[in-house]
């Protein structure tokens, strides 16, 4: 039922009334008549969605390091990897060999990375690392609900949700089910193509009547380790300009840094791997602080 333009209410009602799938349709325009699904029963103060308009911008890297940074500051933090077809969070956090355990036939124990950080991911359920997940929407919705309600999260301060690129089933489902959504962080890179798609993600969040907590510009410039000259490989400043145009906060820029790639490959979050004197570390810490301030505001 996707439309290129938002129809008026009378047209929408007429289309839905004549549609043979109207009683099963999960379209948000039917939600007013049918009622939205109840919120998941989970004890969490703030749910933070991390999404992007397109892939390859470092969204999962930002989500993993953000969750770790919050946990390091003493917040009880959960991290849900909802990139069902490409679950990379366990690899980035060094727990890719872990498996989810359950008891009483239903309650799932999340994988504990630290005393303050627990995660769930589809990767923990796959028989092999290269096993593809070939699912349609309804299966995704079921597992998303299970990852929220059937997991022994305890009492959380933050639940960070790493979403797949785009504005599809996963993002819509979590927006409907998750309680206490503080808002969304949108990750982009500086070039125009990525910024264009990030603006779509921002508008998607606004249509859901959620807050855009801010835009993060990843891979923003590169400082040569040999001559210290800054090179704008993917450009610079696109995310900040887009934030101003959209009227949403700009949380900060993260330089393109080979050490961040190494940290992900080694399964050690960059936020704890690097020295606090690193410009990239300082950038990321400032983004985390700006995000917490946005939520508390």
Kindly report the CATH number that applies to the domain delimited by 55-181: 3.40.50.300
CB atoms within 10 A of CB 243: 24
pLDDT value of position 236: 85
On whether 59 is known to bind a ligand per the annotation, the reply is: yes
pLDDT of residue 18: 40
Label residue 68 left, alpha or beta by phi (over 0 means left) and psi (-120 to 50 means alpha): alpha
CATH code given to domain 186-259+290-297: 3.40.50.300
Domain boundaries, the chain: 55-181, 186-259+290-297
**How much of the chain, in percent, has pLDDT values that exceed 70?**
87
- 55 annotated binding-site participant: yes
Burial class (CB in 10 A: 0-12, 13-18, 19+), 249: buried
pLDDT at 42: 95
The per-residue pLDDT for range 17-65, each reduced to its tens digit, is: 344 343 344 444 344 435 678 999 999 999 999 999 888 899 999 999 9
- H helices of 94-191, in order, are 137-149, 169-177
Is 60 assigned a ligand-binding role in the annotation? yes
pLDDT score at 1 = 40
> Distance of CA 126 to CAs 45, 184, 226, Å?
30, 28, 43
Residues facing 268 on adjacent strands: none
- Ligand-binding annotation for 56, yes or no, is yes
What mean pLDDT value characterizes the chain? 85
**pTM of the prediction?**
0.84
């Amino acid at each position: 039922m996707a439309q290129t333009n938002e129809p008026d209410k009378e047209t929408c009602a007429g289309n839905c009334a004549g549609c043979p799938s109207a009683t099963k349709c999960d379209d948000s325009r039917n939600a007013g008549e049918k009622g939205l699904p109840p919120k998941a029963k989970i004890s969490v103060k703030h749910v933070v969605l991390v999404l992007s308009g397109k892939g390859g911008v470092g969204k999962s890297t930002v989500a993993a390091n953000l969750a770790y940074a919050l946990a390091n500051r003493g917040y009880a933090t959960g991290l849900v990897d909802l990139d069902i077809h490409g679950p990379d969070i366990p690899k980035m956090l060094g727990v890719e060999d872990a498996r989810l355990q359950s008891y009483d036939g239903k309650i799932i124990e999340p994988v504990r990375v630290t005393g303050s950080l627990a995660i769930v991911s589809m990767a923990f359920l796959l028989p092999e690392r290269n096993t593809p997940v070939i699912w349609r929407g309804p299966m995704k919705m079921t597992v998303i609900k299970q990852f929220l309600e059937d997991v022994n999260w305890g009492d959380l301060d933050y639940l960070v949700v790493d979403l797949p690129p785009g504005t599809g089933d996963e993002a819509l489902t979590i927006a409907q089910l998750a309680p206490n959504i503080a808002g969304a962080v949108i990750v982009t890179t500086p070039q125009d193509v990525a910024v264009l798609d990030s603006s779509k993600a921002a508008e998607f969040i606004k249509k859901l009547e959620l807050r855009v907590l801010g835009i993060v510009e990843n891979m923003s410039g590169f400082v040569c380790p040999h001559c210290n000259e800054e090179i704008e490989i993917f450009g610079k400043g696109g995310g900040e300009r887009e934030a101003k145009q959209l009227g949403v906060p700009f949380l900060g820029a993260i330089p393109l840094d080979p050490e961040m790639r190494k940290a992900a490959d080694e399964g050690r979050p960059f936020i704890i791997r690097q020295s606090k004197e690193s410009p990239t570390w300082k950038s990321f810490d400032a983004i985390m602080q700006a995000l917490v301030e946005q939520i508390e505001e």
